[in-house]
Structure 1
Amino acid sequence: MKTKSMVLVALFAALTAIGGFIKVPIPYVPFTLQIVSVYLAGCLLGPKLGMLSQLVYVLIGLAGAPVFAEGGGPSYIFKPTFGYLIGFVLGAYVNGWFVKRFQLVKTSSIFLANFACLLVVYLLGCLWLYAAMKFIVEKPFTVAQTLLFGFVLPIPGDILLCIICSIIAAKALPRTSLIINKQGVAS
């Protein structure tokens, strides 16, 4: 991996960590700005580096650095919100794949890629939330409760961020793709 690739991966991992500290507490699943870094990592770095940036973030947190919205360490796997972190990794890949595969440059089409990313994050997040509440916390949620706390309450803010990031990515992609692709950064 080239130096620029490593720097970009580290930058987006750090931005995701910073986004975790900017949060609005809502029951069970806090609303954070982490998804902004996930959207932009996928769009601007491509599927592989975007995914790698989120994987680095998750691994640093699991290693013990308090970079997650509620701390860090290997025991974080047992938190009801850990599925969203897995979703960040896969969501960044999906987002980057759509942008790269279909050469998306318009705000509306980038929005669809970002929204696909968001759906991946919420799918994995809600599945983990349901299982963790049932088997780990032992306060089982119904499917309706899982959807309310894991999807309905936090998604309006994430859709707004999806729109904002789509506009940013549409403006930034032509500029960053020239820098990234000409300097040999692999995606």
Structure 2
Amino acid sequence: MKTRSMVLVALFAAFTAIGGFIKIPVPYVPFTLQIVSVYLAGCLLGPKLGMFSQLVYVLMGLAGAPVFAEGGGPSYVLKPTFGYLIGFVVGAYMNGWFMKTFQFKKAASIFLANFSSLLVVYLCGCVWLYAAMKWIIEKPFAIGQTLWFGFVLPVPGDLLLCTVCSVIIARILPRINVVISKQEVAL
């Protein structure tokens, strides 16, 4: 990896960690600003670097750094919300893949890329939430309860962030591409 790529991966991993500290307590799945970093990493860094940024974040937390919304350490895999962290990694990749494959430039199409990553995050999160509540916590949720606490309660805020980030990305992406093109020409 080039130095610039490593710096960007570390920067977006740090953004995700910061987003974890900005939270609104909701039962079982706190609402955080971490999804903003997933959207931005996928759209601005592309599929591989976006995924690596989220993977670095998850590995930092599992190594013991208290960067997750509720702490850190290897035992965090036993938490009902760990699936959302897996979703961050996969979601950033998917977002970047959509952006790279279809060359989205307008806010409405960027929204589709962001929304796809949001669905991946929630799919991974809800599956893990259901399994963790059943086999780890031993207070099983019905599928309806899993969807209520794992999707319906937290998703309105994330949809708002999805929309806002789509507009922001549509505005800054052309400027970033100009800067990157100038740097490549200078090399």
Q: Which TM-score bucket, shorter chain as reference?
A: over 0.9
Q: Distance in 2 between matches of 1:60 and 1:124?
A: 20
CA distance in 1, matches of 2:46, 2:96: 4
Distance 1:77 1:181, change over 3 A: farther
Amino acid at match of 2:19: G
Partner residue in 2 for 1:66: 66
Unaligned regions of 5+ residues in structure 1, if any? none
CA contact (8 A) 1:126 1:147 kept: yes
* Structure ranking higher on relative contact order (CA contacts 8 Å, 6+ apart): 1
The Cα RMSD (Å) is: 0.9
Q: For residues 20 and 86 of structure 2, what CA distance do their matches in structure 1 show?
A: 15
Cross-structure match for 2:9? 9
- Which amino acid letter does the alignment assign opposite residue 37 of structure 1? S
TM-score (norm 1): 0.96
Question: How much does 1:181 deviate?
Answer: 5.3
* Fraction of identical pairs, as percent: 78
Can you list the C-alpha shifts for 1:51-87, whole angstroms capped at 9, x where unaligned? 0000000000000000000000000000000000000
The equivalent residue for 2:114 is 114
Measured after TM superposition, the shift of residue 175 of structure 1 is 1.3
Q: Name the residue aligned to 2:146.
A: 146
Q: Distance in 1 between matches of 2:128 and 2:182?
A: 40
- Match for residue 97 of structure 2? 97
Matching residue of 2:129: 129
Q: Which amino acid aligns with 2:155?
A: I
For 1:13-92, list aligned pairs within 5 A.
13-92=13-92
Structure-1 separation of matches of 2:48 and 2:151: 27
1:178, distance to aligned residue in structure 2 (A):
3.0
TM (norm. structure 2) is 0.96
**Residue deviations 1:93-114, cap 9 Å, x none?**
0000001100000000000000
Q: Secondary structure at the match of 2:104?
A: coil
